[in-house]
């Protein structure tokens, strides 16, 4: 790889939309002080051939970018030459951290504004600040607009399925994306006002408990597992895309960890980047194809009775095929199915192993 390790600001997997064919591909991204490089994984190993670069000088970051219904974790980069790049992270935290780091790098390349002061971090959210005299009813009208409003889906919480609702973090994302608030903190304040005025209602145990026990400023949760909906008096126009799942019960556990890992296939023994989600109570490990819009996992298994162990990177362990990158670990399920998985770094490998062992 033609990069100096000392100048790498951040690196990891992101899912990128193609320019000509608008398909999504997992790529390894490396953030440098003045550019963002990306590479391809071939046969379980990161190639040394740079597949593309994005120059950061005068680029503009939009985070969140919510125009893809089933991809709420996308952010957009527009370069100085007006080329747009759409990138998806594995979690909201990762998305916001990538966007903030890219913004910080781009800001350092920007000449000082008049008066010698830097333009500051507001380019991440280039939105006007909300005047809180804005009518809550007008915000509500925008929220359930059939074309640009917040998307209603079905969610599973602790074994129960709730229809026509949305998560707290989805509301915050939408308010920022629609330029109604400057920041996530301001969005939570506005959402709390909507909740207080009865324009939103709690759905499920987490949001109900927060409303009952938290202080006024903490009643609305910027959380992907806290659910909300419109009151019965509000009728959402348009159809709702139902969430499909392998099992409502196994997908109802609390999400403990999310991340991109590289998994060896069982039949062809080829390596693919997958989004792994570790859940607790019940303890399951699911994996998703990040190139697809489908929100159902492509596989998964219960963690009860599983054995997980780190593998030596020296040589190729038995059962492993191909030229691997390293940071390998193995999971043996109770039904004696063997999974070989690579983590991006040694630390992430150990963190995944520790997290899985706590659930076995």
Residue 20 has pLDDT above 60, yes or no: yes
For residues 187 and 181, the answer to whether their CB atoms sit within 8 Å is yes
Tens digits of per-residue pLDDT, 341-356? 999 999 999 999 999 9
The pLDDT of residue 122: 38
Residues 92 and 168 in one domain: no
Among 124, 152, 171, residue at a domain's last position: 124
Residues 24 and 102 in one domain: yes
For residues 75 and 61, the answer to whether their CB atoms sit within 8 Å is yes
The pLDDT of residue 310: 92
Residues 160 and 57 in one domain: no
Residues 92 and 113 in one domain: yes
Residues 183 and 106 in one domain: no
Residues 23 and 45 in one domain: yes
The pLDDT of residue 248: 67
pLDDT band at 92 (very low <50, low <70, confident <90, very high): confident
Residue 107 has pLDDT above 80, yes or no: yes
The pTM for the full model equals 0.71
Residues 29 and 118 in one domain: yes
Residue numbers of the domain that contains 120 = 5-124
The pLDDT of residue 121: 38
239 belongs to a structural domain = no
CATH number of the CATH domain containing 296: 2.30.29.30
The pLDDT of residue 125: 36
Residues 119 and 141 in one domain: no
Residues 190 and 295 in one domain: no
The pLDDT of residue 284: 93
Tens digits of per-residue pLDDT, 50-72? 778 899 999 999 988 888 877 88
Residues 175 and 266 in one domain: no
Tens digits of per-residue pLDDT, 234-288? 655 443 343 444 466 777 788 899 999 999 988 788 899 999 999 998 899 999 9
Sign, CA torsion 256/258/262/266: positive
The pLDDT of residue 227: 92
- The count of domains in the chain is 3
CATH number of the CATH domain containing 142: 1.10.10.10
18 belongs to a structural domain = yes
Tell me the average pLDDT of the chain.
82
238 belongs to a structural domain = no
Residue 149 has pLDDT above 90, yes or no: no
């Amino acid at each position: 790889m033609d990069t100096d390790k000392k100048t790498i600001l951040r690196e990891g997997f992101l899912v990128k939309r193609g320019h000509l064919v608008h398909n999504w591909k997992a790529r390894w991204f490396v953030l440098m002080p003045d550019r963002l490089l990306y590479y391809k994984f071939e046969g379980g190993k990161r190639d040394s051939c740079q597949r593309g670069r994005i120059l950061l000088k005068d680029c503009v970051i939009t985070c969140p970018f919510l125009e893809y219904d089933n991809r709420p974790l996308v952010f957009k980069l527009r370069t100085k030459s007006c080329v747009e790049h759409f990138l998806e992270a594995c979690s909201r935290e990762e998305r916001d951290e990538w966007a903030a780091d890219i913004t910080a790098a781009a800001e350092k390349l920007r000449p000082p504004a008049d008066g010698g002061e830097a333009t500051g971090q507001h380019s991440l959210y280039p939105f006007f600040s909300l005047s809180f005299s804005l009518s809550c009813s007008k915000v509500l009208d925008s929220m359930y607009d059939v074309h640009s409003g917040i998307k209603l889906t079905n969610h599973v919480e602790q074994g129960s399925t709730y229809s026509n609702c949305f998560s707290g973090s989805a509301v915050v994302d939408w308010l920022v994306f629609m330029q109604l608030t400057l920041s996530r903190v301001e969005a939570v304040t506005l959402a709390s006002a909507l909740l207080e005025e009865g324009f939103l209602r709690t759905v499920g145990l987490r949001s109900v408990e927060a409303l009952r026990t938290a202080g006024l400023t903490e009643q609305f949760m910027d959380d992907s597992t806290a659910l909300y909906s419109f009151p019965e008096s509000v009728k959402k126009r348009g159809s709702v895309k139902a969430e499909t799942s392998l099992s409502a019960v196994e997908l109802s556990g609390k999400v403990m960890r999310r991340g991109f890992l590289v998994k060896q296939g069982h039949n062809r023994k080829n390596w693919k980047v997958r989004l792994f989600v570790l859940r607790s109570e019940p303890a399951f490990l699911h994996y998703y194809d990040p190139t697809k819009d489908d929100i159902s996992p492509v596989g998964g298994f219960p963690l009860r009775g599983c054995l997980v162990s780190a593998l030596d990177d020296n040589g190729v362990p038995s059962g492993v095929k191909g030229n691997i990158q390293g940071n390998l670990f193995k999971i043996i399920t109770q039904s004696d199915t063997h999974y070989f998985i690579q983590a991006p770094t040694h630390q992430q490998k150990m963190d995944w192993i520790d997290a899985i062992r706590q659930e076995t």
